[in-house]
């Protein structure tokens, strides 16, 4: 009995093990078959249209953002992994089977062609799903979505290309630039055109490249290249505004340079370190300093020291005074208060002005005022000579402007009326002047008539009158209208007998 039970148990266990072994074998074969199928990307292309793909192939296409059409996505994917993918689509279809290897030698592409159809089968270890963690896969997909959204929203051109200039990936801004430059009807299909064929693959350097839009306008881009593996990651930022700003700055600089070159005033600008950074040709003419010295960017101290050596500035009493004057000049120029007249030994006269500039810079302006000073001296000498002639007259003379202001007197006038106060010599109003006359003379209506005469603008004719002074002397007054509305008053003392000492008409 025991032996029968043991035999039955052994028989049942053997049957169970055999069944389990069979199920395990079947499952292994099924898994191997499933794994081998999932490790393949299969696509069917007919008449340049992607008509079908397996599940794994469709999933790969879903991860590709641009272009939008399925065949374009497939070409973009193959362009990334196969350098000879152009031969797959561009060459005439010939019946047969062709095999291509990927760039990393980890994938193989089998292309079967018949009539107008093409079957593509891509195998790679990268496609296996064995041992994948669903949480890691979700994280990768989330990161992929974020990166795709970032690349699509980037406002600058971003693309990858090989060393021979073949594009392997672009963002949406690049596609928009293709349409703007090549035309809105341009097909954004692979292979995409390279907009920057002249871009040098030099890492870390920025190149500015000019393209022409479809409407003929200029499109400037600042391009940067970064090596990534065997490829290059390139970026292009629009630089139109930067180019316009540089052109405006260049034109403004040229205008300033031309203006400075034509100025008769010498200009020397020192930076915040007090080194000469800008000068104009007039400075060379005024200072006689050599061009190579000015071009060497001398300091302000060296510049002024050379001026002293060339006797283009007043000679100081000693070196200490010279150093103090330099410090005072720099401080006053920085405050914008330096303004002096330099009288040079050779007879020239320079007016030197210091002006502060932004960022701590200082400008010195040299103006040759020799002609003006000479004219001023000559004019002053003529005035002094004319005043001497008038002072030599025995008659008192007073000249009034059209506004009734006293502008000229002589010595005889001051002695007669006792108005040696400078305020009554020139600049006093006719009312104040006649009031002073009234204090010296006896009451008379002559002064009121004279005030009205000076303020009258028409019907003015010469007239005269006699007045008596409080000391008993008599004065003959003659009032003559002048050009421009002025009035001349001439005063002559009369003798005790009432006869004029000399003919007043001849004196005038």
Residue 490 has pLDDT above 50, yes or no: yes
| CA gap 351, 265 in Å, rounded | 10
Highest mean pLDDT among 16-30, 371-385, 398-412: 398-412
Q: Which of 242, 276, 291 is a domain's end point?
A: 242
pLDDT classification of 474: cutoffs 50, 70, 90: very high
Task: Identify the band that residue 505 occupies on the pLDDT scale cut at 50, 70 and 90.
Answer: very low
| pLDDT, the chain, mean | 79
- Is there a single domain that holds both residue 468 and residue 406? yes
Q: What percent of the chain has pLDDT over 90?
A: 15
Neighbours of 338 (CB within 10 A): 20
219 - beta bridge partners? 211
Distance of CA 326 to the CA centre of its chain: 33
Q: Are residues 219 and 307 in the same domain?
A: no
Same domain for 226 and 314, yes or no, is no
pLDDT interval class at 114 (50, 70, 90): confident
Q: What is the mean pLDDT of residues 161-178?
A: 86
Task: Give the chain's length.
Answer: 508
Confidence of residue 453 (pLDDT cuts 50, 70, 90): very high
Confidence of residue 386 (pLDDT cuts 50, 70, 90): confident
> Is there a contact between 240 and 222 (Cβ–Cβ < 8 Å)?
no
One DSSP character per residue, 404-448 reads: SBEEEE-HHHHHHHT--SGGGTSS-BHHHHHHHHHHHBPP-THHH
Tell me, yes or no, whether 464 lies in a domain: yes
Of 28 and 59, which is predicted with more confidence?
59
Same-domain check for residues 213 and 293: no
Exposure string for 244-275, b = 16+ CB within 10 A, e = fewer? eeeeeeeeeeeeeeeebeeeeebbbbbbeebe
Residues with Cβ within 8 Å of 304's Cβ and at least 6 positions away in sequence, in order, are 313, 326, 329
Any domain includes 5: no
Asked if residue 425 belongs to a domain, the reply is yes
Look at residue 1 and tell me whether its pLDDT is greater than 60: no
Same domain, 216 and 271: no
Q: Which residue has the higher pLDDT, 336 or 103?
A: 103
Claim to verify: residue 445 and residue 415 sit in the same structural domain: yes
Reported as a single tens digit per residue, the pLDDT across 407-450 is 888 999 988 988 775 545 667 899 999 998 999 999 999 999 99
Which residue has better confidence, 88 or 368? 368
pLDDT of residue 448: 92
Distances (CA, A) of 226 to 201, 293, 497: 8, 45, 117
Domain with 114, as residue range(s), is: 38-127
Tell me how many degrees the CA angle 247-250-251 measures, rounded to the nearest 5. 85
Q: Which residue has the higher pLDDT, 350 or 360?
A: 350
Per-residue model confidence as pLDDT tens digits over 230-276? 888 899 999 989 999 998 988 887 887 788 778 888 989 898 888 99
For CA atoms 351, 357, 360, 361, the dihedral sign is negative
Helix (H) or strand (E) holding 121: strand 117-124
d(CA 225, CA 36): 40
Domain boundary among 310, 337, 369: 369
Q: Name the phi and psi angles at 460, rounded to 5.
A: -110, 120
Distance CA 247, CA 318 (A): 51
How does pLDDT run across 263-285, given as a tens digit for each residue? 888 989 898 888 998 888 889 88
Asked whether residue 33 is domain-assigned, the answer is no
Tell me, yes or no, whether 433 lies in a domain.
Answer: yes
Same domain, 339 and 403: no
Whether 192 maps to a domain, the answer reads yes
Residues 362 and 332 in one domain: yes
> Percent of the chain beyond pLDDT 70?
80
The count of domains in the chain is: 4
Rounded to whole angstroms, the Cα distance separating 143 from 127 reads: 19
- pLDDT of amino acid 236: 92
Residues 152 and 123 in one domain: no
Name the nearest CA neighbour of 335 among 365, 358, 355. 355
Q: What is the pLDDT of residues 305-334, one digit of tens each?
A: 888 888 888 776 665 676 676 677 777 777
Query: What DSSP character marks residue 146?
Result: H
CATH number at residue 186: 3.30.450.20
Residue 121 within a domain? yes
Report the C-alpha gap between 330 and 354 in whole angstroms: 8
Neighbours of 475 (CB within 10 A): 20
Highest mean pLDDT among 118-122, 140-144, 321-325: 118-122
Question: Is residue 6 in a domain?
Answer: no
Please report which confidence band the pLDDT of residue 65 belongs to, taking 50, 70 and 90 as the band edges: low
For residue 365, list its beta bridge partners. Answer: 267, 353
Given this model, what pLDDT does residue 467 score?
93
Per the model's pLDDT, the better-predicted residue between 294 and 383 turns out to be 294
Kindly tell me if the per-residue pLDDT of 29 is higher than 60. no
Give yes or no: residues 357 and 268 share one domain: yes
- pTM for the model stands at 0.43
Are 87 and 157 within one domain? no
What radius of gyration, in Å, describes the C-alpha atoms of the chain?
52
pLDDT grade, residue 203 (50/70/90)?
A: low
Q: Could you tell me if 434 and 354 lie in one domain?
A: no
Distance CA 413, CA 422 (A): 13
Cα-based distances in Å from 36 to 28, 122, 123: 12, 12, 9
pLDDT reported for residue 59: 80
The larger pLDDT score, comparing residue 429 to residue 107, is at: 429
Q: What confidence tier does 26 reach under pLDDT thresholds 50, 70, 90?
A: very low
Final residue in a domain of this structure, among 63, 98, 127: 127
């Amino acid at each position: 009995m025991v032996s029968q039970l043991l035999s039955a148990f052994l028989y049942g266990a053997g049957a169970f093990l055999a069944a389990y072994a069979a199920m395990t074998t079947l499952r292994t074969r099924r898994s191997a078959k499933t794994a081998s199928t999932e490790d393949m990307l299969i696509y069917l292309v007919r008449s340049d249209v992607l008509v079908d793909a397996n599940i794994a192939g469709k999933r790969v296409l879903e991860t590709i953002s641009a272009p939008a059409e399925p065949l374009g996505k497939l070409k973009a994917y193959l362009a990334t992994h196969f350098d000879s993918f152009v031969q797959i689509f561009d060459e005439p279809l010939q019946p047969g089977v062709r095999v291509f290897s990927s760039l990393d030698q980890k994938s193989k592409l089998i292309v079967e062609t018949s009539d107008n159809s093409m079957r593509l089968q891509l195998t790679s270890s990268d496609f296996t799903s064995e041992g994948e963690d669903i949480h890691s896969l979700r994280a990768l997909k989330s990161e992929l979505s974020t990166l795709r959204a970032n690349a699509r929203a980037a406002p600058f051109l971003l693309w990858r290309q090989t060393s021979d200039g073949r594009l392997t990936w672009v963002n949406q801004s690049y596609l928009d630039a293709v349409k703007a430059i090549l035309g809105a009807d341009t097909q954004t299909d692979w292979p995409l055109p390279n907009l920057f064929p002249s871009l040098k693959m030099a890492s870390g350097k920025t190149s500015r490249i000019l393209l022409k839009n479809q409407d003929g306008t200029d499109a400037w881009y600042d391009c940067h290249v970064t090596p990534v593996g065997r490829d290059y990651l390139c970026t292009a930022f629009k630089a139109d505004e930067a180019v316009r700003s540089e052109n405006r700055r260049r034109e403004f600089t040229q205008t300033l340079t031309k203006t400075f070159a034509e100025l008769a005033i010498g200009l020397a600008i020192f930076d915040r370190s007090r080194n000469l950074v800008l000068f104009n040709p007039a400075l060379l003419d005024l200072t006689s300093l050599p061009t190579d010295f000015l071009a060497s960017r001398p300091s302000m101290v060296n510049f002024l020291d050379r001026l002293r050596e060339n006797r283009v500035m007043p000679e100081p009493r000693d070196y200490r005074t010279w150093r103090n004057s330099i410090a005072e000049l720099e401080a006053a120029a920085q405050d914008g208060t330096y303004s002096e007249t330099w009288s040079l030994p050779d007879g020239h006269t320079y007016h030197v002005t210091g002006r502060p500039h932004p960022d701590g810079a200082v400008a010195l302006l040299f103006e040759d005022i020799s002609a003006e000073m000479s004219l001023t001296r000559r004019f002053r000498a003529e005035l002094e000579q004319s005043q001497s002639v008038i002072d030599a007259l025995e008659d008192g003379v007073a000249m009034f402007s059209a506004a009734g202001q006293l502008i000229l007197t002589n010595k005889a006038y001051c002695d007669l009326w006792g108005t040696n106060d400078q305020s009554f010599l020139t600049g006093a109003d006719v009312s104040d002047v006649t009031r002073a006359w009234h204090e010296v003379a006896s009451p008379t209506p002559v002064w009121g008539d004279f005030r009205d005469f000076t303020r009258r603008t028409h019907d003015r004719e010469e007239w005269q009158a006699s007045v008596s002074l409080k000391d008993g002397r008599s004065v003959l007054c003659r009032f003559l209208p002048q050009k421009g509305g002025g009035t001349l008053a001439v005063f002559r003392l009369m003798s005790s007998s009432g006869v004029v000492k000399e003919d007043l008409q001849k004196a005038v």
